[in-house]
A and B are shown apart, each in its own frame.
Chain A
Amino acid sequence: MNHIDLSSVLRQTVSCDLYSNLVTRPTGAAVRHQIERLLDDAHDRTLTVIDFSQVAMIDFSCADEVIAKLLMRHEADDSPRDAYFLFRGVTDEHWEAIEAVLERRGLALVLEQADGIHVVGTLGSEERRVWEAVRQMGRATPVELAERLDVSAVEVQRALDVLRRRRLVMRLSDSYVVVGAHRGG
């Protein structure tokens, strides 16, 4: 599992200790490119924790550049790697900008908070229900999920495919786990 402290990346990127805020599109693009470079050194399948703990604030433009474009690139059919992301240390001060870009781009992400992990953003009700069931079960096959949710395995598999493409669940052999529940990669 990778751990990326965004404030460290920010300082490396803009070469100035004075900048503790994730603001402006050029800064966001530079930070995202640095994250991509760090991911290049990782294994084929990686779970990366994006840590906001030391970030004072993030604006809409930077949230779009860092978070939205990172997620979109890895959701795409030509994704460069099998990467998953868990967002940590996100506070109310960060949330306003992050929520806005997720809504605008129709994206979702997995957030680690004191009370556990949550999926936030734009997600269909069926996918959200399946994601929640996987989280509660820890690890589950489509058949197990179908039984628990009382729906067909085909429907569950369809939702799982969406969730996997959107990097919200990981497939482990025949079963699935939500991102962040399994930290082995």
Chain B
Amino acid sequence: MTTVVNVPPSLDDHSFDDVLRQLTGTPSDSKVLLDARHVRWASPFGLTALLTLAQTRAEMPALAVPELEETASYWARAGFFRHAEELYELHGSYPKRAGASDSNVLLEITSVAKSEDVHDVVGRIQQKAQLMLRELSLDAKATVGFAMTLSEICQNIVEHAGRGGWVMVQTYRWTKRLGRRVVVIAVADAGVGFRQSLETAPGKERGDRWDDAAALEDAVIRGVSRFRDPGRGQGLAGVRRYLGRWDGKLSVRSGTARIAIVPNWDDDLPLAEHLPPFPGAQVQVTIPERATSAQSQPVSARTQR
């Protein structure tokens, strides 16, 4: 029997939990069909998480692609179908070629499995540095910090996940929510996740409370790493410092918990527990354009692309 999972029309880091909730209790070797026909919008998190989800299934899942041509076209330009063809039985028609590149996609979905992939990702994003300088009003120092952030988050996959993952970078105009453009990084893997990774730390004692949320607090807030070496764990600490300076947001989901470093412009929960389980780690970073006085008044809805 095939379990049909309805993918929400707007697929982002929060609504993806609806997908996972529908899969709770479904054996990984059972057949699953993800029905994305009515999806109209998907964030980089949504797209990379969909790929990651397929990795967690022993039986190759099926995916009914978005019916809306504009959405399917965007997914193609983001590089989604190129990877999905290897992970899903794809049902429905979709553009076989990506077509013209999308200037808002700073980095299309890119697989990350080894150190060389991180070099490639950083090199490619640096080629877009001028675009970031111009469109996001970031200064040169901020773009370097952005590349560092991207590098460190991608390295988490290489060093801790135990299997490959994906990264995507996209800009948006969040006119209603923020009144500014933002750049969003999503990095997802289906590896061992933070809790299991930290549990491999030699001689590490655990308190009474030890779960996915505690592991995320250790790693993201306290900079704890599975390595004894005190130099480890600097990556996420550095990312936090960078985001603090640029009023950015960091959100990390692993297992059944999600932790977020929440700036003033967002109202996300700092810690969400008892979420539907999902292997590995999924990181989302959002960096807003520098505010100007003219941008202080949000005016209209957030738009796709």
Residues of B close to A60: CB separation below 8 A: 148, 152, 234-235, 237-238
- A34 nearest CB across to chain B (Å): 16
- B167 nearest CB across to chain A (Å): 13
Max chain A CB contacts within 10 Å: which of B118, B148, B237? B148
- B173 nearest CB across to chain A (Å): 27
Does A93 lie at the interface of the complex (its beta carbon under 8 Å from any beta carbon of B)? yes
Residue of B whose beta carbon sits closest to that of A105: B231
Q: Mark B225-241, 1 if CB is under 8 A from A, else 0.
A: 00000111011011001
Q: Is the CB of B119 within 8 A of A61?
A: no
Complex CA gap A69/B230 in Å reads: 11
Complex CA gap A135/B101 in Å reads: 56
Q: A96-B148, A104-B230, A105-B230 are in contact. Are A27 and B119 (CB under 8 A)?
A: yes
Does B23 lie at the interface of the complex (its beta carbon under 8 Å from any beta carbon of A)? no
Does B141 lie at the interface of the complex (its beta carbon under 8 Å from any beta carbon of A)? yes
Complex CA gap A38/B141 in Å reads: 32
Residues of A close to B241: CB separation below 8 A: 96, 100
Does B242 lie at the interface of the complex (its beta carbon under 8 Å from any beta carbon of A)? yes
Residue of A whose beta carbon sits closest to that of B236: A60
Does B130 lie at the interface of the complex (its beta carbon under 8 Å from any beta carbon of A)? no
Does B155 lie at the interface of the complex (its beta carbon under 8 Å from any beta carbon of A)? yes
Q: Is the CB of B123 within 8 A of A24?
A: no
Q: Mark B104-138, 1 if CB is under 8 A from A, else 0.
A: 00000000000110110011001000000000000
Q: Is the CB of A68 within 8 A of B231?
A: yes
Residues of B close to A24: CB separation below 8 A: 115, 118-119, 151, 155, 158
Residue of A whose beta carbon sits closest to that of B242: A96
- A13 nearest CB across to chain B (Å): 12
Interface CB pairs A-B, < 8 A, 17 = A21-B122, A21-B147, A23-B151, A26-B115, A57-B148, A59-B147, A60-B152, A61-B151, A61-B155, A61-B235, A64-B232, A68-B231, A96-B144, A97-B148, A100-B234, A100-B241, A105-B231
